[in-house]
Chains A and B, each alone.
Chain A
Amino acid sequence: MTSYLIRRLGIAVITLVLITFLVYGLIRAMPGTPATNQLAVMDPSKQLSPEAIARINRLYGLDKPWYAAYFVWMKNVVVGDLGVSFTRNMRPVAELIVERAPATLMLSATSLALAYLLSIPIGLWATAQANTVAERTVSTVLYMLYSLPAFVAALYLQLLLYVKLDWLPLYGMQSDAYESLSPVGKAVDVLRHAVMPIACFTYGNLAYYSRFIRANMQEVVRQDYIRTARAKGVGPRAILWKHAFRNTMIPLVTLLGLSLPGLFSGAVILEQIFQWPGMGRLYFEAIGQRDYNVIMGLTLMFSVLALAGQLLADILYAVVDPRVTYG
């Protein structure tokens, strides 16, 4: 196990270096620099003095060709310095990420929890009621939801809940009058803003997971040991929950491991649509502003999480299934 872990970690580090190198090359190849982005051109007060620019360029290797600058960036990262944002008052990237993380986590953690909490009962119910009219209807609706693009769903929801019914705010995370509200009022306000984004985040996963559980369950309930259990008089609920569902946990756990990185990277497009001040939006804005360090910091974080999620899935696999060992 230890040697397996070391090998996997070694490969992960190489992959990580390749990814960041590629992304660094790409973003440096994009026309424009942070100093020439629109914000700086439009608002002279946000422009940096030439000396400051020269100092930053030297510090972060921007005066060098991109492949050399990449190693400057990497050297800084190894000692724990992600650099500063060029377009956000020179604030450290790590600070910006920490500041934006809660907003994203609020959406993604809620939606992931909701998706799992709802999809397990739905999947089990669909197995128990297989091929009844109700089950087929629910499964068809879920399948259609799975095919509904999130940005279309977001617009439809906005059209219905804001324009038509005027129940929920269109976008943002807080109302204009947020500061004057009581603590309870503040919580309610943020919640009201979060309903639509969370719904858009959740429905696709919900549809996917419940179909996934149902498909796996259908395979399992045909096994001989289920028939044995039924023959010795175990009740249908106990069969589903104790005998069948336990054996579908393995792929489910893998799926959970793979979906964890999504907690942070979230859905960039959805945050953009709902103007939700999370990390996805920060990423999108940083790309537009050519804010190299912010893009790289977020890319690094997302990639580390993606690789860690894959590793975690493999390890969890061995934990839930004693037959799996890594030598």
Chain B
Amino acid sequence: MDLPPSTTGAMAASDVPLGASPGFWREAWRRFRRRKLAMAALLFVAALTLVAICAPLIVGTRPIVCQYKGRIYFPAAWYYNRDWENPIFAKDRFRGRFAENLQAKDPQSWAIWPLIYQDPYRRIRENEWPGQPANPSGAEGRPSRYNWLGTNQQGFDVLASMVHGAQTAVSVGFVSMGIAATIGITLGALAGYYGRWIDVLLSRVIEVVMCVPSLVLILALVALLDRVNNLHLMAIVGLTHWTGIARLTRAEFMKLKQMEFVAAARALGASPGRIMFTHVLRNALAPVLVPITFGIADAILIESGLSYLGFGASPPNPSWGTLLSAGRRNIEDMWWLILFPGTAIFLTVLAYNLIGEGLQEATDPRLRQDAH
């Protein structure tokens, strides 16, 4: 600092290697990649997301693509949105049974089917698919050739429910933490950057939200809504789980606002909003990502816990928690309803925790020195 400019220049020239030094994120990614477990977890989450996105292509009773009466349709899109079914199938009275109706109503038709012919919303009947028996139900529905993970009380395939339920798990995690991150980062940034009474006020708000029993909050909000859907659950989880993110953002901002680059930005005439959200946030983002990742695991836990207690999204909604709750009611003779969805929840939570920890160690400068 106190050195004359010429000396500093000479030092910089001799010490700093030529070419751009690796940026923060690249460096963090390099560190993250070194951790085998964290990478495995990242791959798991990527695979899970892929399964969630492609659920109707993996398990379903509707063709992915079919040609019917000379035109091409995508009946599997129905699983994403009920309105995306072409009216022609309603007009021709398909009633969701494509396998038998396609051939019967248009012998020229062809179709590409999902990998497994099972449905999360109904029971498969005998010979609906050539040679496939009807789904067993109740205690008869143990895992078999046709129902790899068994069937539930009503004879719905468990594997189908779990694959389609992955959509719930993945989207609940991302959407609710998106909401929580938006609230938490904004409030934390304001409190940390401005300090004084804004900080006092916002810190109180954070403390109150932290201390309000989240169960009351969630059950009250669920009771207020008539028909709960997954979006409601995501909003509720997001609105109640931003405090950790806010507190961390606040601490980071308090630290960073003392740095020279903030003073420099201010001297250049940047607006507070610009300083906060382009200059400071950029540097605070890495530590803030850690509670967000752990938050995703939490959100998945809460969603499955709520579904398990019977406060989840209204049926018919394939969710891992709903399967578990059916398993609990039939614990004496339907173990497959507990073992498989329980493992899915466990692995997903574990994966997000591992990623969070990997991120923490890859981005925390205090821990970084130990790696060398």
Contact = CB atoms under 8 A, between A and B. Distances in A.
A309 B103 CA distance: 69
B213 A149 contact: no
Nearest to A27: B220
B308 A158 contact: no
A151 B350 contact: no
Interface string A131-149: 0000000000001101111
Interface stretch (B44-52, B203-211, B283-291): B203-211
Contacts of B216: 23, 26-27, 287, 295, 299
Given A144-B350, A151-B305, A155-B327, A283 B215 contact: yes
B176 to A, nearest CB: 17
B208 A18 contact: yes
Contacts of B335: 159, 163
Contacts of B350: 144, 147-148
Nearest to B221: A26
A71 interface: no
A238 interface: no
A259 interface: no
Number of chain B interface residues as a range? 20 to 34
B326 to A, nearest CB: 11
B220 A30 contact: yes
A85 interface: no
Interface string B261-277: 00000000000000000
A211 to B, nearest CB: 10
A60 interface: no
A155 B220 contact: no
A29 B324 CA distance: 30
Interface in B299-354: 301, 304-305, 308-309, 324, 327-328, 331-332, 335, 338-339, 342, 345-346, 349-350, 353
Interface in A235-280: 265, 268-269, 272-273
Contacts of B309: 269, 272
B212 interface: yes
A269 B345 CA distance: 16
Nearest to B357: A143
A303 B339 CA distance: 36
Interface of A: 11, 14-15, 18-19, 22-23, 26-27, 29-32, 143-144, 146-149, 151-152, 155-156, 158-159, 162-163, 170, 265, 268-269, 272-273, 283-284, 287, 295, 299, 302-303, 306-307
